[in-house]
Structure 1
Amino acid sequence: MLDKNLYNTVLCQTFSPCGKYLIAGSIYGQLAVFDLDRVLNPILELFSAEYNKPKYIHELENEVQICSLLTSQKFLIVGTIGEITGWDWKSLVSNKFNKPSWIIKVPFKKSGLELWDVNSMWLSEDESKLYAGCGDNNIYSFSLEGGKLISVYEGHNDYIHCVHGKGKHLISAGEDGFVKLWDSRTPSAQNSMEPHNSKASRPDLGKWVGAVALGDDWIVCGGGPRLSLWHLRSLDAVTVFDIPDHGIHVAQFHEDCVVAGGSAKFLYQLTYSGEVKVELPISATTVYSAILRTTPNKLLTIAGSSPDIDLCTTFNYRDQVLHFRQ
C-alpha cells in the first residue's frame, strides 16, 4: 500500500484570515492545519517533536484531490474535482470538521460524465465574486453569496493552469500555450499572448504556461517557455529570466521583485531586470505553491512534490520544515 506520509504532494496552500494558521491541501484529499503560533513560538516547557506537524488533518469525502485553496473572511474555499466547497473557519481549526457550509457544482456537459479539476481560483477584492479556472478550458465566475453562476469565459482550447486578477481585469494561462487578458465584465478575451512564440520559447519543454500574475504595469508568466516579464500595455517581452528550471509552476509579484519556482532546486526572487536576488533551497523536486504575507509577520511557505513544506520568516533562507503527516 502506498504510504501517503512519504509520497504526498501538496498542490496548494493558504493562510487563515486571522493569520494564525497555515492550511495545505494534498492530492489525497487531506487538509492539514498548522498552528503557526506553535510553529514560530514553541514553548520550551511544552516542546515536542510534534510542533512542526499539523494540529489537525481533515479528510474530504472520497479522498478527492485538492487542487486549489483560497481564503475569505468567512470561509476556507476548496477547489477539487467538479466542485468548490466553503468551510467555516471555526470548524476547520477544531476537531468538529464535518460538512461544508456550501457547495458549488462546476458545470459540465450533459453529453459526458467527466468532472473537471478546479485548477486555480481567484477571489475579487470585495470577496463578492469567485473565479475558477478549470480543466474544461473555461473560467467560471460565481457569486460567493448564493453560489450562482455569473459568467463563463471561453477562449482557451486546453485546460487552464492559472487564473489571477486585479480590479476588473483577469489573466489566465493554459496548457494551450496562451496567456489571455479579460475584462471581467465581458465573456470574450480582450487580448492574448503566446510566450512559446517569443524569445522565451523552449521547444523542448513545450508551449504550456503553468503560472501567470498580473501587476499594475506588468505581466509575469512561465511554464514550458522561460519565466518572462511582459509590459502590460504593449504586450512586449521585456525580460526573459535565465534560471535553471525545467518548467515554471509558480510566478508572482512581491514588492519590486518576481517570486518564481517550478521544477528546479530553488525558489527564486528576481529583479525586473533579471538579477537573481535570492535562491532559496527547497525540499520538493517541483514547487506547486508558494504563498507569502507581510502581516502580522513576514512569512513564506513553499510546497510541492513532497510531504515537507518549507517555512521562511525573512524570505532569504529556510528557517524550518513543516511535515504534512500525523
Structure 2
Amino acid sequence: MVSVKRAAAKLLFGARYDKVPWGQRVYVRPGERLVREAQWRIKVAGAKTMPLAEYRRRVPLGEIEEFLSCMMCGESRQQPLFEPTGGNGWRYRVVRCPSCGFLYRNPNIRPERLADLYADSYSSFLTGKYAENRQRRYRLTMDAFSPVFDDGKGRRLLDFGCGAGLFLELAEQRGFDAVGVDLSPDSVEQANARLSHARAYFGAPEDVPEIAAGGFDVITLWSVLAHLPRPLEDFERFRSLLAPGGVLLILTVNASSLLLKAYASAWSGFTKNHLMFYSSRTLPTLLRRTGFAGVAYAPHYGDTIEEGTTRLPEAMRVRLRRAVESSDGGNMMRALAFADDKAIETWRGTLGVRRLKA
C-alpha cells in the first residue's frame, strides 16, 4: 500500500518534493490539503457508529484498561477509526465521538494504572532522541504567547508533567518561581540534578503541600494533555490552582492535523502512552466545563519554519503557512487558557481570544 501511494505521488508531483521532509510534504504539495480534507470527510461519513454495548462485545479488554463514553459530551456511541501499532508489540484502538468529534483511545487506561506506562525508565525516552530540540520548541511557543513568558519575576509557575526538567530550566532562566510534578521517579531525579532554584516532585499536585496550596500565575502542560485519562477532573484541579489572572499553557498533538488525515493509524501523534486527542474544536468544551473564561491559539508551522532554519524554498514556506492556517492543521496544537476576565485583559496581547460561556 505504501509503495502504491508513493508511486501515485511520484506520478502527480514528480521528483520535486522528494527532498521535502515527510512531515511537510502534505502542506506544500499543490492541492494536497484539499484532497486530505476530502478523504477525512469521507472516512468519517463512512465509519460505522455503534452503541457502547456492541463495541464492548467486539473489542478485547486489557488488564489495565476500561471502556469509556466520550469525556467531552458524554455520548456513549462510538465510531471506530484507527488501530495504531508500534514497537514492542503495543496496539490500541482510537474511536471518534459521533456527537462532538472528540478522538480518544478506547479501551482506555484506568487512572489507577496510569503509572504503569511510566515505570520503566521513561526518562531515558525523555532525555534521548525525543529531547533533541525540545527547549527550542519551548522557546518558540513562549515567544508565540508573548508577553506571558517574557518576564517571570515575582510570578509562580507549575509545570505539570515536568519530565526531566527541560522546561523548568528555562523557567528558572526567565525568573519564575517554578516547581514541577511528574509520575516518573527517575525523571524527577534527573530534573532536580539539572535545576538550580526550581524543584521537581514525584506524584500529583495534591501530594505536595507547596503545590496543593495553589496561587500559581502560570501552569504549563508540555505534551501532557494527551496522557490524561480523566481530563475533566485534572482541569478542575488546574483551575483551582491558578491565582486570579492566571493562565494555562497547552502544547499537545493536534487531532485536526493534516498529517493525521494523511497517515491515519501511522500518524506520529498516536504514540504508546497517548490516550486522548484534542483539536481547537474539542478543547474549548473541556475548558468551558472546568471553569475557564477564554482560550487563544497560536498556529504551529513547525520548529524549523518558525526558527528560520528550514531548507524549504520561500514559495514552499508561504504555501505551508497558508495550508496550516486554512485547515487548522499544524501537527501540534498550542493553546493558552485564561482563568478569568482579569487574565484575558492582562495577557491577551495581540492574540485572538475566544471567550467561553459557562
TM over 0.5: no
Q: Which has a greater percent of helix?
A: 2
TM-score normalized by structure 1? 0.26
Q: Which has a greater percent of strand?
A: 1
Structure number, greater radius of gyration: 2
Structure scoring higher RCO (CA < 8 A, sep ≥ 6) equals 2
